Amino acid sequence: MNTQTDVDVADEMSSAPLGRLHKWLGVMLAALTLFDGYDTFNPAYVIHFVAGPWGLNAGQAGLLVSSGLVGFLIGAAVHGMAADRIGRRVTLLAGLWIASVFTLATALFGHSFVSFCVLRVLTGIGLGVLLPLATTYINELAPRRMVNTFSLWGVAFGWALGGTLAGLVGVFLTPQFGWEILYWLGSASFLLTVLLHRFLPESVRFLAMKGRTEEIRETLCRLMPERASLYRRARLILPAAAQAHASIGALLEPTFRRTTLTVWAAAFLSLFCIFGLTGWIPTVMMKRGETFAASFGFGALMQVMSFVGGLVCARLADRHGSSRTLLASWWALGGVAVLSLVLVNNHVMNITSVALAGFFIIGAQFVLNNFTAGAYETNVRATGVGMMLSVGRVGAILGPFVAGALQQTFGTPTIMFLVIAGASLIAAAAIFSLTSAGRPAKDVNAVLAHG
């Protein structure tokens, strides 16, 4: 007599070996976040070309960078509720279509301060979907024992590479072709959209939450083909549906409140630092005596070092099972690196300090994304990550604007560096305060295994 084998879907996903489909999905998501990182950081290379012709003061130039982040805030805030209801795949593709269309429109029509900012807001709505939802998706896909490292390679690598490419285009192509080349090249994301429509599957954990068992069998067979015959006949045990709804209110219920408020504060401060620095580093470095090529190259340097810093932090988190102390250390050291720019101005110190700021401050943000995803259960995870990044984007919006206003008021970037360094140190203190009473201070991988 044949007996039906029980298969726990959450355990299968969490303990799965890293297979071909895992790697292929990691490549697709890295390509997705490459366009996100590229488009997020390229306005920093537009300022140099348009500030004079458009008659912009420093505050308006900061708004040029911040405008896309306003749209990002909207997209990050609303996408999670859609993704938790209708699926990760559909929402992700919709965001990529929006970003692609308005990136192309920026190259064609963004030739004044107002039109550029409006198109950046609309582009940002699409971009606001990509990074948080890719983080959610990959956390629901990755094997438990390497979730942080896999997330860094599958999401943060693409984002950092995109930011690096924006810097390289800024250095080598904008002098010949103008700032519009940044957006002509960015519109190549249309090709990725077509590929993802064809190959990107739905998240298994989302399918489990919705009880779509046949689609789960198909995806499990693709993830682990050596167990395909078992999956086709097994009785699948799905995670129990949690009672909380995918809403902001669910994130503020007693179970999650302390964690939610802490990661919101940390994200706000971290992204204030990141976008305050990256939005102004090329311009500020020229004021500090660096050449055009070197000044634009600092942005690329920050992105390269951010991935290295995030990867080191993630590997240590996977090894030791908790990210809290590591995140606090990274932001504290990043704050010290920015402070060093106040004390010394020479080429070697500029390179070293900017590299360390990227390594520690942006590197920590990559791990915070994953840390937050591990803090919530499946049915509110996309909402939790989206809201964390949405609140963080308020800091990101203020960063370039405040940095510009401070330079305009004091006539020097010194006060800007002091404020950014202070924000990084406060972020370190905030995340360190999240003790074992806060859920993420537990083993995040264990939460992912059952959530």
3-state secondary structure 381-400: HHHHHHHHHHHHHHHHHHHH
The verdict on residue 210 lying in a domain is yes
Exposure string over 23-52, b if 16+ CB within 10 A, otherwise e: eebbebbbbbbbbbbbbbbbbbbbbbbbbe
**Which residue from 73, 77, 68 is spatially nearest to 121, judged by alpha carbons?**
68
Per-position DSSP letters for 101-165, written without gaps between them: HHHHHHHHH--SHHHHHHHHHHHHHHHHHHHHHHHHHHHTTS-GGGHHHHHIIIIIHHHHHHHHH
Helix, strand, or coil here: 224? coil
Residue 226, C-beta contacts closer than 8 angstroms, at least 6 positions apart: none
The verdict on residue 274 lying in a domain is yes
> Distance between CA 412 and CA 288 in Å, rounded?
10
pTM across the whole model: 0.75
For the chain, percent helix, then strand, then coil, each to nearest 5?
Answer: 80, 0, 20
pLDDT of 438: 41
pLDDT of 268: 96
The verdict on residue 337 lying in a domain is yes
Q: Give me the residues of the chain with pLDDT under 50, please.
A: 1, 241-245, 436-451
Domain that holds residue 13: 6-450
* Residues 45 and 299: beta-carbon distance below 8 Å: yes
User: Vertex 410, ends 406 and 411: CA angle to 5°?
Assistant: 100
Query: What separation in angstroms does the CA of 373 have from each of 10, 259, 309, 329, 449?
Result: 16, 11, 19, 20, 12
Query: What separation in angstroms does the CA of 188 have from each of 24, 38, 163, 290, 354?
Result: 20, 11, 15, 32, 30
Handedness of CA 279, 281, 284, 290 (dihedral sign): negative
The verdict on residue 350 lying in a domain is yes
pLDDT of 437: 39
pLDDT of 424: 97
pLDDT of 245: 45
> Distance between CA 135 and CA 199 in Å, rounded?
18
> Distance between CA 333 and CA 448 in Å, rounded?
29
**What CATH number is associated with residue 302?**
1.20.1250.20
The verdict on residue 299 lying in a domain is yes
Residues in the chain: 451
pLDDT of 450: 39
- How many structural domains compose the chain? 1
The verdict on residue 1 lying in a domain is no
Amino acid letter, residue 413:
P
The verdict on residue 316 lying in a domain is yes
> Distance between CA 388 and CA 265 in Å, rounded?
9
User: Vertex 131, ends 91 and 293: CA angle to 5°?
Assistant: 135
What are the φ and ψ backbone dihedral angles of 188, each rounded to 5 degrees?
A: -65, -10
The verdict on residue 385 lying in a domain is yes
Classify burial at 178, counting beta carbons within 10 Å of its beta carbon; exposed 0-12, middle 13-18, buried 19 or more. Answer: middle
Query: What separation in angstroms does the CA of 196 have from each of 6, 35, 185?
Result: 32, 13, 19
Biggest CA pair distance of the chain: 84
> Distance between CA 372 and CA 43 in Å, rounded?
28
